[in-house]
Amino acid sequence: MYVVATAGHVDHGKSTLVHRLTGMWPDRLAEEQRRGLTIDLGFAWTTIDGRDIAFVDVPGHERFVANMLAGVGPVPAVMFVVAATEGWMPQSQEHFAAVRALGVEHTLVVISKADLADPAPAVAHARERFPDSRVVIGTDLDRVRTELMSLVDGLPVPDPDADVRLWVDRSFTVRGAGTVVTGTLGAGTIRVGDELEHDGRQVTVRGVQSLGRAETTVGAVARVAVNLRGVDRNLIGRGHTVRTPGTWLDTSAVDVALRSADKLHQRLMLHIGSAAVPVHVRPLGDAAARLRLARPLPLRIGDVGLLRDPGEHRIAAGVRVLDVRPASLRRRGDARARAAELAGGRAAPPVCATAKELHAMGFPVEGERIGDWVVDERWWAQRRGHLLAVVTQWFAEHDVAAGMPLEIVRSQVGLPALELVAALLASTGLQVRDGLVQRPGAQLPPRVDEAVRAVQKWLAAEPFRAPDADELAELNLGTRELAAAVRTGRLTRIADGIVLGTDAYDRAVEVLKTLPQPFTVAEAKRALNTTRRVAVPLLEQLDARGCTRRGDDGTRHTL
């Protein structure tokens, strides 16, 4: 199927031409039929030389330009109608500006009402503005059909396997079926039973129609009506999307290239797909801008739209999306640097992102693969160098720490996920244990080493006389210093603030075996020549290690 939108000034005969080509009157609203004026989008279709062609008929009145843009936005080809009786009119100009801003390359100009006035002036105006398009007289329907065939035969071939993003232009309820949405499917394929996504929730395709026929599968490009399960009709409407789950990123800020830019105000309306969203515009040089959207949209690099000033009925610029996740512009000079970067008409992909994110943003999935992540090789090498510097600095400031917490490493090195830290540590000689980055073979700093040697000398003479808190404080051995001494195998921790030599358990068992069995805590204390403060936790540790066993009466014996 091929989809063609109409364009042109009000009352220039767009709907009449569609009716004459299809036999269907596209105006569907009672008010439209009563007033003879297209207000909203209309739809009709026909078959010409074996080709199915669907028309999206748009209103031409200046009050309904937003509706017109919702119809033209997702459509690859336009049939532009100019009446011979009036020639080029204000809405002809605005519709022309919209078509040019959207970058629509496939257009056919039809001069209507040629039986009522000389078409030559209208033909001249049309050829001046559309030098690369065919111009035909609407009274010659055979010629119009021939040129339509030529137009659609030149359209690019859509990708049937692409991710679905259906811009909704209508939503309504069908009794017994539920919510139905319509739109122009520009890429991908929709099948009955598909699980799609809308506004973060899963919806199921109960049925799909195209050109008034129920289908099980419809591929792009096509006009479709999709019956959805899982969404209320009041929660979905024009400007929303139904899309392949997990393959699109909703964004509230985009960097765009500008086409045919007129004067830009800070507050404009972005028309893209069938959506119309207020945006704040920040120019980035003459050819690019940062747009902040009033609500998020699922956009990708390469998407085209336009900026419009509704108050002045003016197309301000065409836009092409360059980046859907641009870095913030906080520091002085950031905007100027970003403008220079975008001057070539493209943005650099993020230096670190998951393959899924790159695909959703529209970037090619290229670079060094680290699990699910794709990184720029040069950036990755810089991160490794930075990591070594960060870790070295941290250990200089925390010389008795067990290790640098992974989250601190991640944050200071600038990695988006913890899983990347371990990969970055490969071949650095550093290791990860218990959530800490550690230096293998790390030794105690000199100040702690000297104090620990004093304790070891003390314990060599009296193995079970652990230094008390005052004695440890005099040696400047606090909790962290003692933990470092234990971690490096210099001392053994018996309990909080109590340390002995590394052979304390073996030596204690040897002494306790010489006692009459079973023995009391007091007997053990005297045999070990220590205090109750040390003897009680030492015996509890020996119980836990299976070296001694405590009886119900509180006595113990060695095993």
Q: What is the pLDDT of residues 430-445, one digit of tens each?
A: 888 888 888 887 788 8
CA distance 523 to 129: 109
Q: Where are the beta strands (DSSP E) in 175-263?
A: 178-185, 189-191, 195-198, 201-210, 213-215, 217-219, 222-229, 241-243, 250-259
Architecture of domain 165-243: Beta Barrel (2.40)
- What average pLDDT does range 87-106 have in this prediction? 86
Backbone angles phi, psi at 304, to 5 degrees: -120, 150
Residue limits of CATH 2.40.30.10 in the chain: 165-243, 249-348
Cα dihedral across residues 62, 66, 72, 73: positive or negative = positive
Query: Which whole-number Å values give the CA distances from 259 to 99, 132, 279, 288, in the listed order?
Result: 11, 18, 17, 9
554 CB-near residues (< 8 Å, 6+ apart): 520, 521
The radius of gyration of the chain from alpha carbons, rounded to an integer in Å, stands at 38
Length of the chain: 559
pLDDT at residue 498 tops 90: yes
464 contacts 418 by C-beta, under 8 angstroms:
no
- Give first-to-last CA distance, the chain, whole Å: 87
CATH of domain 249-348: 2.40.30.10
Cα 229 from Cα 120, distance rounded (Å): 53
Between 279 and 39, the higher pLDDT residue: 279
170-192 pLDDT per residue, tens: 898 988 888 999 899 999 999 99
CATH code given to domain 2-154 = 3.40.50.300
Range(s) for CATH 1.10.10.10 in the chain? Answer: 446-558
Distance CA 252, CA 205 (A): 28
Secondary structure of residue 57 in the 3-state scheme: strand
* Residue 38, pLDDT above cutoff 70: no
- What is the CA angle 53-97-48, rounded to 5? 10
Look up residue 245 and give its two tokens: 């789950």
Domain with CATH 3.40.50.300 in the chain: 2-154
Rounded Cα distance between 464 and 250, Å, is: 66
CA distance 274 to 167: 6
87-91, 203-207, 473-477, range with greatest mean pLDDT? 203-207
The two structure tokens encoding residue 229: 């399960």
Give the pLDDT band of residue 32 (cuts 50, 70, 90).
very low
pTM for this predicted structure: 0.78
* Domain 446-558 -> CATH class: mainly alpha
CATH architecture of 349-442: Orthogonal Bundle (1.10)
pLDDT, tens digit (0-9, with 9 covering 90-100), for 358-381: 999 999 998 899 999 999 999 999
